[in-house]
Amino acid sequence: MKYEHLLERFLTYVKVNTRSDETSTTTPSTQSQVDFAQNILLPEMERVGLKDVHYLPNGFAVGTLPATDSRFKHKIGFISHMDTADFNAQGVAPQVIENYDGSPIPLGTSGYELNSKDFPNLGNYLGQTLITTDGTTLLGADDKSGIAEIMTAIEYLSAHPEIPHCEIRVGFGPDEEIGIGADQFDVEDFNVDFAYTVDGGPLGELQYETFSAASAELTFHGRNVHPGTAKDQMINALQLAIDFHSQLPATDRPELTEDYQGFYHLLKLEGTVEKASASYIIRDFDEANFDKRKALIEQIASQMNKELGDERILITLKDQYYNMRQVIEKDMTPIEIAKEVMEKLDIKPIIEPIRGGTDGSKISFMGIPTPNLFAGGENMHGRFEYVSLQTMERAVDTIVGIVSHIN
């Protein structure tokens, strides 16, 4: 179905810079997210018909659409995040390409282009309306497409009171891209039986499995002496980092893994002979394998310290989130409802694991099972990002279908 304000709403949202900042000590991490929530989202939430609209200290803008029919036994939530990823988000100037014909799309005057050779998925969108970047910024479809879709679904339901639906809670939150947005999520305030993050990619994605995730920060302490007299005296901290990394499984890297395969990802390596540091993220779908990966990090460091005769390698391991399947598989109702609705809408459900995480990973373990629905974005987090208006419309259809599904 076509929705009158969906495109306009999305274009308005993406032009606002809401990039999060992992170095910040505040929640939300940037004032721009606070301003976006308070000055743009909250007033619009009230305009589209949400009740009890409020802004929480955790950075979430929350509202309720009361049920219109007592037959509904579930209260359902929909959640999307306001922040965008670590890429230029200042001066977003989206391009709207109508009736896409398959030819390369110049991204403004940047010299970059979208083409089906580099991005084969473009072939799925012939004849559709695409929204792209101008090549100098990201687009922000992750996750302003989700916000626009939820807002549009609420607007549609408010304008059509004849459509029976359950009680709906809406939450737009901060800092998902830096992994802390849901840390202070208020489960008691949200008060639903289950929820969906509308934060997925192409049409039909329905996901209830994520990686379990941890970070590892390593510090290597060396001893610097003149290289001419270094024999049996110098301990090169950078070499220690290299030796450590070489003992991790060579094939367990993101670029060599897929599907349910986990990995170690070296994010940063820097330093001098005297001192070096390395940052890793650790990912696995299987709980036992996840624990083994963390244990291996510690074992390598312990053995190296033993051989060095000193504690020269220090590790800080921190769990980030866990595979939400552990929660959701206990009651598959939200998956079964979404799958049935998609099939009725002639959308093929794509039920596959997320090789990443969403706010739903943490919220599920807080007590609200929260799988992930498609929002439409492709090539997210960079200048080649784009989204199909028709996919966004289908996401709205799916949201409306879920809340009007009597179960």
Strand partners, 221: 275
Segments forming the whole domain that contains residue 224 = 212-321
Phi/psi of residue 73, nearest 5 degrees? -100, -10
Q: Which two tokens stand for residue 161?
A: 């009171």
According to the model, what pLDDT value does residue 253 have?
97
Whether 158 and 198 map to the same domain: the answer is yes
Same domain, 56 and 128: yes
Cα distance between residue 136 and residue 334, in whole Å: 39
Q: How confident is the model at residue 358 (pLDDT cuts 50, 70, 90)?
A: confident
The CATH number linked to 81 is 3.40.630.10
For residues 389 and 288, state if they share a domain: no
DSSP category for residue 39: I
Q: Would you say residue 379 has pLDDT above 90?
A: yes
pLDDT of 63 reads 98
Residues 309 and 330 in one domain: no
252 and 351, same domain (yes or no): no
CB 119 within 8 A of CB 378: yes
Kindly report, residue by residue over 266-308, the tens digit of the pLDDT: 999 999 999 999 999 999 999 999 999 999 999 999 999 999 9
Task: Answer yes or no: is 175 a known binding residue.
Answer: no
Q: How many CA atoms lie within 13 A of 103 on its CB side?
A: 5
Q: How many residues does the chain have?
A: 407
Is 4 in the active site?
no
Of the candidates 288, 321, 354, which is a domain's last residue?
321
State the Cα–Cα distance between residues 321 and 359, nearest whole angstrom: 9
**pLDDT tens, position by position, 116-128:** 999 999 999 999 9
Q: What is the pLDDT of residue 292?
A: 98
- For residues 95 and 216, membership in a common domain is answered with no
Q: Which residue is catalytic, options 21, 176, 359, 378?
A: 176
* CB atoms inside a 10 Å sphere around CB 272: 11
Asked if residue 282 and residue 382 are part of one domain, the reply reads: no
Q: What is the DSSP letter of 173?
A: E
Q: What pLDDT band is residue 406 in, cutting at 50, 70 and 90?
A: confident
For 348-396, the DSSP string reads --B---BSS--HHHHHHHHT----EEE---BSTTSTT-EEEHHHHHHHH
Average pLDDT, the chain: 96
pLDDT in tens, 35-89: 999 999 999 999 999 999 999 999 999 999 999 999 998 999 999 999 999 999 9
Output the CA–CA distances (angstroms, integers) from residue 351 to 106, 202, 205, 357, in the order listed.
33, 12, 6, 15
Distance of alpha carbon 215 from the chain centroid: 17
CB contact set of 94 (below 8 Å; sequence gap of 6+): 11, 14, 15, 131, 132, 133, 134, 139
Closest among 214, 180, 218, 217 to 318, alpha carbons compared: 214
Half-sphere exposure (Cβ direction) of 147: Cα atoms closer than 13 Å: 30
The set of residues, in sequence order, having a beta carbon less than 8 Å from that of 272 and lying 6+ positions away, is: 222, 224, 237, 238
Cβ-defined contacts of 315-318 (< 8 Å, 24+): 315/216, 315/217, 315/218, 316/216, 316/217, 316/218, 317/214, 317/215, 317/216, 318/214, 318/215, 318/216, 318/217
Distance in angstroms (rounded) separating the CA atoms of residues 264 and 293: 8
Closest of 343, 333, 352 to residue 401, by C-alpha: 343
Q: What is the pLDDT of residue 162?
A: 96
The Cα 125–Cα 101 span in angstroms is 9
User: Shortest CA distance to 203 belongs to which of 125, 282, 106?
Assistant: 125
340 is in an annotated binding site: no
59-68: pLDDT as tens digits: 999 999 999 9
Question: Can you tell me which residue has the tokens 């992930």?
Answer: 372
How far apart are alpha carbons 356 and 285 in whole angstroms? 10
The predicted structure's pLDDT at residue 142: 95
| Angstrom distance (rounded) from CA 75 to CA 263 | 37
Report the DSSP pairing between strands 386-388 and 51-55.
unpaired
Q: What is the mean pLDDT of residues 98-107?
A: 98
Same domain flag for 89 and 164: yes
SS (H, E, C) 72-112: CCCEEEEEEECCECCCCCCCCCCEEECCCCCCCEECCCCCC
Range with lowest mean pLDDT among 8-12, 179-183, 282-286, 348-352: 179-183
Closest CA to 78 of 178, 142, 169: 169
Of the candidates 260, 289, 321, which is a domain's last residue?
Answer: 321
Residues 197 and 187 in one domain: yes
Q: Say if residue 176 is in the same domain as residue 242.
A: no
Q: What is the pLDDT of residue 365?
A: 96
196 has pLDDT over 80: yes
In this structure, what DSSP letter does residue 288 have?
A: H
pLDDT at 407 over 80: no
The confidence score (pLDDT) of residue 266 equals 98
Residue, of 357 and 367, whose pLDDT is higher: 367
Instruction: Point out the catalytic residue in the list 21, 44, 83, 167.
Output: 83
pLDDT over threshold 90, residue 356: no
Q: How many CB atoms lie within 10 A of CB 214?
A: 21
Same domain for 126 and 160?
Answer: yes
Here the CATH number for the domain that contains residue 274 is 3.30.70.360
Catalytic residue status for 205: no
Q: In 3D, which of 51, 76, 65, 47 has the Cα closest to residue 373?
A: 76
Confidence of residue 131 (pLDDT cuts 50, 70, 90): very high
Q: What is the per-residue pLDDT across 227-251, written as a single tens digit (0 to 9) for each?
A: 999 999 999 999 999 999 999 999 9
Structural domain count of the chain:
2
Residue 381 marked in a binding site: yes
What average pLDDT score do residues 357-377 get?
95
Give the strands of the sheet with 212-221, arranged side by side: 263-271, 275-284, 212-221, 313-321
Domain stops at, among 261, 287, 321: 321
Q: Average pLDDT in the 8-25 region?
A: 96
- 166 and 36 share a domain? yes
Give pLDDT, residue 357.
81
Helices within 20-172 (DSSP H only): 31-35, 42-47, 141-159
Q: How confident is the model at residue 153 (pLDDT cuts 50, 70, 90)?
A: very high
